[in-house]
Amino acid sequence: MRFQLEERFRPWEELTKESEFFDPAAETMPVKERARYLNECVREIVQYAYDYAPAVKEKMNRAGVTPSEIITVKDLEKIPITRKDEFSELQKQNPPFGGFLAVPQTKEIFVSPGPTYEPEIPDTQIVADAKALYAAGFRKGDIALVTISFHMVPAGTNHALALEMLGVTFIPAGVGNTELQLQIMRDLKVTSYMGTPSFLMTLIKRAEELGYDFHRDFRVRHAVVGGEMLPESLRRIFEQDYGITTLQTYGTAELLSLAHECTQKSGWHIPEEVFIEIVDPETNKQLPPGEVGEIVATPFNRVFPLIRYGTGDLSSIITEPCPCGRTSPRLTGLMGRVGEAVKARGMFLHPKQVKEVITKFDQVHSFQVKVGRKEQRDEITINLELKDETVDKQKLTNDLTQAFQDICRVKADKIEFLAKGTIPEEHKLIVDERTWE
C-alpha cells in the first residue's frame, strides 16, 4: 500500500544532513501529485477496512456503498460518518474494539477516558508525529521532557516512539511532580518540552519561585504543546521572555496525530498519513476551503482503520501552499465543538470566531450576537456595550462589520449599542432566536 512505513520513512541516521523537512519528498509534494496520492491512499484504506474491519463493512453495506464506488476523496461522502458516541456504543456491543481492529492480534491495548479502547500505535501515526516534532526543531542529540501521560492512554507512547525515530533522547516524565521535573531538567540539560502549555508555565513559574532565571539556568529552547488551547499571549511569553520556540500539535486519542504547526505558525499542516475533510455537521457533506465545519478524519491506519471518524471539533482548511515549503492543506485551528455553533445564511457562526472579532476592538466592554429571522432571511445582530460612550460609533460600526465579515464569512445586518449592564454577566455569546414552524 502507498502509505506503508517502508515507502514513506527515512531512518533517523539519514537525518544528519540538516533539512527543513522530515520527509522532503512527501511534505513538498506538488499539488497534483498530492491529489493523486490521497485518492490512491483513500481507495486503498477503504478497500482494506472493508475487507478486514467488520464494523466498516457493516456500515458501508447498510449505506449501500461498495469500495469500488470510492474512487476519489470526494466519494468518501457516500460513507456514513462514525462519531464518538456511536464509536463508544459499538465498543460496548462488540468489545473491546467495536469491530474496527483489522489485524489478528494487537501488541498493546490503550485505554482513554470513556473508557475507549485503542490498539497498538501504527507506524504511519508514528511518522506523522515525527513530522510534527521535526517541524518544531527537535533533532538527534536533543533531550526531551515528555510531560504527557504514559498511564493507559496512547499519547505519551506515541510521542516516545516518534522521538526515538528522530534519534532524540527522551524522559517519560508524565504529569505532576513539578519540583522533581525541574531538577531533572537541570541535571539532564533538557532542551525540548512536550506537554500542555499550562504545565510548561507552571514549571517556569515554580523555577522562578525557587530563585532561578529560567532562560539563563535552563536549556529548553523548543516546545511542542497540545491538549488545550494555546493563547497567542502565552505563546509570546514563552518565545519572547524565555526563548522557547512554541508550536502546537492536534490529535485525538482514537486517531492520534492529525495536524501540526510549522515555524510560520500560519495553520496546522495535515500530514500525509491521514486525509481530513471539513464537513457540514447537518448534511455530512464536504465544505470548501475557508468554511467552518466538523473535522472528519480518515487515517491510513491498517491496524485500526477508522473511516470518516468525526472528531466533533470545528475548523476550516487552507489550501494555499505555506511559506515554509510544505504543500499540505492546513487546518486554521480549532473553532470549538459541534453543537456550540449556530448556522446562519448557510455558514456556521462559532463563539470562538465571534470572540476573535470583538477582541480586536478595545472599546467594547461586552457583546452578544443574536440570530433572528425576518422575511424568510436570517438576520444577524451584534449587541455591544462600550467602555466609553464617547467613541466614534459610526467608525466602530464600519470597522467591526468588516472584521466580522472577514473572519466569520457572513455579514452582520445590524450593530446595536446598549447601556452598560444590559447584557447579563453570564450569557451565551451567540443566541439563536429563530423559531421554525
CB 327 within 8 A of CB 31: yes
Contact 334, 310 (CB under 8 A): no
Mean pLDDT of 48-77: 98
pLDDT class of 436 with cuts at 50, 70, 90: low
**437 has pLDDT over 60:** no
* Three-class SS of 147-205: CCCCCCCCHHHHHHHHHHHHCCEEEECCCCCHHHHHHHHHHCCCCEEEECHHHHHHHHH
Q: What CATH number does domain 5-12+20-331 carry, 3.40.109.10, 3.40.1080.10, 3.40.50.12780, 3.40.50.300?
A: 3.40.50.12780
What CA–CA distance (Å, rounded) separates 363 from 400?
Answer: 11
Residue 137 or 227, more confident: 137
18 CB-contact burial (10 Å; exposed 0-12 / middle 13-18 / buried 19+)? exposed
CB 120: neighbour CB atoms within 10 A?
18
State how far the Cα of 195 lies from the Cα of 200, in Å rounded to an integer: 7
Please give the grid coordinates belonging to residue 236.
Answer: 509570546
The fold of the 342-432 domain, in CATH, is GMP Synthetase; Chain A, domain 3 (3.30.300)
With cut-offs at 50, 70 and 90, classify the pLDDT of residue 94. very high
- CATH 3.40.50.12780 in the chain is located at 5-12+20-331
Q: What pTM, to 2 d.p., does this model score?
A: 0.83
265-277 residue pLDDT tens: 999 999 999 999 9
The residue among 310 and 408 whose pLDDT is bigger is 310
> Where does the chain hold its CATH 3.30.300.30 domain(s)?
342-432
Identify which has the larger pLDDT, 88 or 276: 276
User: pLDDT band at residue 410, thresholds of 50, 70 and 90?
Assistant: confident
Give the C-alpha separation, 347 to 330, whole Å.
20
Q: Is residue 7 pLDDT above 60, yes or no?
A: no
Given a cut of 90, whether residue 201 has pLDDT beyond it is yes
Q: What are phi and psi of 159, to 5 degrees?
A: -65, -40
Q: How far apart are CA 411 and CA 380, in angstroms?
A: 8
